[in-house]
Amino acid sequence: MTSAQNEPVDIRLIASDMDGTLLDADGRVPDRFWPLLEGLLAAGVLFSPASGRQYQTLLATFGDRDGLVYIAENGTNIVRGGETIALEPVEPDIIAPIVDWVRMMSDSGADLGIVVCGARSAYIERADEAFINSVRPYYAALEVVEDVTAAAGGDDVLKLAIFDSGQAETRTGPAILALGLPADVVISGENWVDVMRPGVNKGTALIRLQQHLGISREQTMAFGDFLNDAEMLDAAGHSYAVANAHPSIRARARHQAPSNLDEGVITSILAALPALAPA
């Protein structure tokens, strides 16, 4: 693994994870990123926020600039210019067993909650302030409902996101896998487990985007920090793990960037594309 590029490269597409990667400690896009983004787009380099976050949330953050392509909900929703390039809902039959498991665990006293992530809105049953505060940053379109399964019945459910305070990787992930459902289960953060359509992830989304845009793997740069970024890094010729990344992600990436707290995404883009550096 290397820490920097030695010379400028031909980059046409940059995909970056948000939480723990691009965003700072307060969950904000660093101020220094915005002029860099304008420079990228002016130079014809497309930028893709690639996140477990909802499309509506990413849109609220970045706006509908020409040259932005959104990979939302861990790759199950790809949008450019307000038009959907791909939508990958889960099999409807998997929803009830997972919701039932979360309800059972919650009834037994576990600090769990579920977000049923539809294309139109996200749905939750748990309405306490602590849980809503944990969910709100990721889902701008959010409804508190009595029954998430019923409420999401008229929506395309793209993902089931399970919040588990502190035991996502050791408790909820293995338990959902043990249900034996036709779905992929990925640990997307310290407190989050995401369940999606089999074979769909940020990596398959990035490949689909490359094909749609006519951009090669070697013309693609990607940044990530956690397990749900693994396939995306594989799909990019120039893959970066930030210094605070999960150990397996650091081992998987070709390059290491400084941490999100040190604006590693910005630093690494400018190192690879020095013409974009401020005069």
Whether 7 is in a domain gets the answer: no
Domain C-terminal end among 161, 196, 231:
196
Per the structure block, which two tokens stand in for 75? 């790759």
Using the 8-state DSSP alphabet, how is residue 231 labeled?
A: H
104 and 186: one domain? yes
Total count of residues recorded for the chain: 279
171 and 107: one domain? yes
59 and 133: one domain? no
Which domain, by its residues, includes 56? 13-88+200-276
162 and 210: one domain? no
Which alpha helices (DSSP H) does 214-252 contain, by range? 230-234, 247-252
What is the layout of strands, in order, in the sheet containing 220-224? 46-49, 13-16, 220-224, 238-242, 255-257
Per the structure block, which two tokens stand in for 224? 């990530």
For residues 219 and 207, give the distance between their C-alpha atoms in angstroms, rounded to a whole number.
12
Domain C-terminal end among 171, 196, 221:
196
The CATH number that applies at residue 248 is: 3.40.50.1000
Q: How much is the pLDDT for 1?
A: 57
Q: How much is the pLDDT for 2?
A: 56
Q: How much is the pLDDT for 7?
A: 55
Domain C-terminal end among 142, 174, 196:
196
118 and 61: one domain? no
Strand-pair category, 77-80 with 83-87: antiparallel
Helix (H, G, I), strand (E, B) or coil at 205: helix
The CATH number that applies at residue 152 is: 3.30.1240.10
Helix (H, G, I), strand (E, B) or coil at 127: coil
60 and 83: one domain? yes
Q: How much is the pLDDT for 5?
A: 47
Q: Which residues contact 6 (CB under 8 A, 6 or more apart)?
A: none
Q: How much is the pLDDT for 166?
A: 81
Low-confidence residues of the chain, pLDDT below 50? 4-5
Total domains present in the chain? 2
96 and 191: one domain? yes
Whether 1 is in a domain gets the answer: no
- List of E strands, the chain: 13-16, 46-49, 69-72, 77-80, 83-87, 112-118, 122-124, 142-144, 157-164, 184-189, 192-196, 220-224, 238-242, 255-257
Whether 6 is in a domain gets the answer: no
Whether 70 is in a domain gets the answer: yes
Q: What are residue 250's phi and psi, to 5 degrees?
A: -60, -35
Q: What torsion, rounded to 10 degrees, do the Cα atoms 74, 75, 80, 84 define?
A: -110
Per the structure block, which two tokens stand in for 200? 């769909």
Whether 73 is in a domain gets the answer: yes
226 and 149: one domain? no
- Residue 31 Cα distances to 37, 182, 216, angstroms: 11, 42, 30
Whether 206 is in a domain gets the answer: yes
